[in-house]
A = this chain, B = another copy of it.
């Protein structure tokens, strides 16, 4: 069955809330309570979950432990995933230092850059490899996911090389709309979208015009 991408995008949020509830010792949860925690209507939650089976009992709610486990299984959250990071500038180093990946099973195992000054150096325990050797390196050590942290102008060629190396999931930090063949999933980390939805709340309370400087 072809499940809409927006449904898949919501599942990690569901999984996260269920894990919290599990830690809090809650056994059952209604779609109403889940919806309240997530800002989604109860009907949307029931519809989203119905793609994957019948989890709840009418009027009783969902078994938190069971649903949490099922979602983790559906999303493959209990396995380790290997990542190649391309671009070891300021952003790439911040990504290497990010504490949130490894507790969730995401392990950066390869690092690439094009700058001769840092190729061969060890950064955060990883040797930086020449991006010109990306396809050869990925043939020897395949990865599941690519993270692209290169400047906008180089991002498409890096994505093309990852795709040629059979990387089917790519997280793109460059501010551009990347092209990829069907079957390849590209997610863009886009802080502008997050800011743009916040300005909705601000627009009648703007504190000060920008100085003309």
CA gap between A166 and B206 in the complex, in Å: 11
Known pairs A82-B207, A143-B207, A168-B205. 8 more at Cβ < 8 A? A5-B39, A107-B210, A143-B208, A145-B195, A168-B201, A169-B195, A169-B202, A187-B194
Asked whether A81 is an interface residue with its Cβ less than 8 Å from the other chain, the reply is: yes
Q: Which residues of A contact B (CB under 8 A)?
A: 4-6, 8-9, 11-13, 15-16, 39-41, 74-77, 79-82, 89-91, 93-95, 97-101, 104, 106-107, 109, 141-145, 151-152, 166, 168-169, 171, 175, 185, 187, 189-203, 205-210
Whether A200 lies near B8 (C-beta < 8 A) is: yes
A-B contact pairs, 20 of them (CB 8 A): A11-B196, A15-B196, A74-B203, A75-B203, A76-B200, A76-B203, A79-B199, A89-B94, A91-B91, A100-B175, A101-B191, A144-B199, A144-B206, A145-B202, A166-B207, A168-B205, A169-B195, A171-B195, A189-B191, A189-B194
Chain A binding surface SS class: mixed
Contacts of A12 in B (CB 8 A): 192-193, 196-197
Whether B201 lies near A77 (C-beta < 8 A) is: no
With A4-B39, A152-B99 as known contacts, state yes or no: A206 contacts B91, CB within 8 Å: no
Whether A98 lies near B175 (C-beta < 8 A) is: yes
Contacts of A201 in B (CB 8 A): 8, 168-169, 185
Contacts of A151 in B (CB 8 A): 99
CA gap between A75 and B203 in the complex, in Å: 7
